Amino acid sequence: MERKNRKMKAFTLIEIMVVVLIVGLLAGLVGINVVRYFERARERTAKTQISMIEQALELYKMEQGRYPTTDEGVGSLVKGGYLKGKEIPKDPWGSEYYYVSDGKTFTLKSAGPDKSIGTQDDISTESQVAQ
């Protein structure tokens, strides 16, 4: 008889669905913000790496009297000891940095998330050097 007097306490299907919906909405909002944060961090990383490579290019020019040509590429910075490491870093999206030079001027940039040069998402430090 004691069992009949106890009221059964349980969640209804509607209550469970409401909780799942709320948790899903919160996860979606947080997820979107996290993705935006990571994308901004990748852009900052690319700008920092470009700035580092540009500094190495300036040092190269001070010692050699010119920038490495397009054919020599930024790989000559590693070979000459102007950049630490064994190879040129890739951009945060896994592509190589775009470098063009005639020895007197240079252009250095990242293709950005779409990995295509000449599109709106290209990243550079706005310092295409001319001397």
The 10s digit of each residue's pLDDT in 78-126 is 888 888 888 888 999 999 999 999 889 999 999 999 988 888 888 887 5
- Look at the block and give the residue holding tokens 């919906």: 21
pTM of whole model > 0.75? no
**Measured between alpha carbons, how far is 91 from 57 in angstroms, rounded to an integer?**
17
Domains in the chain, start-ordered, CATH in brackets? 12-109 (3.30.700.10)
5 against 12, higher pLDDT = 12
Average pLDDT for 5-24: 82
- At 99 the pLDDT is 93
Could you tell me the CA-to-CA distances from 129 to 47, 105, 111, 124 in Å, in that order? 16, 6, 19, 12
